Amino acid sequence: MLACLKALASPEVFGTAFPIPTLSASNPDYAPHGWGWNGPAWLQVNYFAITGLLSARQYEAAFRLWEQTRALCIRDGEPHSYELYDPELGTGMGCPDYSWQAMICHLLIRHFAGVGHREGELIPALPPGLDHIHLSNLPGWLCEIEIRRTPERLYIHTKHPRPVLVSLYAAGLGGLNALTANGIAMETGADGICTVPGDAAAPEWEVMGVCR
């Protein structure tokens, strides 16, 4: 993991201005300014790197790469959607409005909002600056979720098509104290998962915590 983090941060390897290049910047065949897999950045590569870093709990590196990825596909608040990008200039290349952009939606829903894991399980990871997420009309066990973060508190409100018992893995939210769910103090297990004592399921949950 340390070697991976070092390579991502090094300008001579994968730490270009707009990462991740598909070939090390020090490789003799590195060609960042044209179409292909010998230099240009592709969003699906960034997606897999970000989700891998989140799974490894390397939140700082994952969030940094997300900010760099966002700089590729959003410019001045508007979509800058292309098939691939110049890793040094950030210029879009190939087809505009390409299907890779859907991975950003998946990243937001499954990994930043933490939806889509086992029923009742939330594993959110909020990057700095992304302090409000509201998703609705979701399929499955959770149909709506809103996450709001202020300097003092974190709020998570969920709605479900049927009563469920929720649990929360909060490591990706920064330090939190005094977690409650529907006013009930949550218990934190040895695995870091916060649960509600007992087995009282509910169709809506209001989770609150105090930011450290």
- Kindly list the domain boundaries of the chain, sorted by start residue: 2-103, 118-211
pLDDT digits (tens, 9 = 90+) for 17-61: 999 999 999 999 999 998 889 999 999 999 999 999 999 999 999
Q: Is the peptide bond before 20 cis (omega within 30 degrees of 0)?
A: yes
In the numeric block, the tokens 């829903």 are attached to 109
pLDDT digit string, tens, across residues 167-211 = 999 888 888 888 999 999 999 888 889 998 887 899 999 999 998
Q: What is the CATH number of domain 118-211?
A: 2.60.420
pLDDT top residue among 46 and 98: 46
pTM as predicted: 0.89
Contacts 24+ apart (CB under 8 A), 106-111: 106/47, 107/47, 107/50, 107/51, 107/66, 108/133, 108/135, 109/135, 109/138, 111/50, 111/51, 111/54
What is the Cα–Cα distance from 123 to 120, expressed in whole angstroms? Answer: 10
Query: What three-state secondary structure class fits 100?
Result: helix
Q: Tokens at residue 76, please?
A: 């001045």
Q: Is the pLDDT of residue 126 over 90?
A: yes
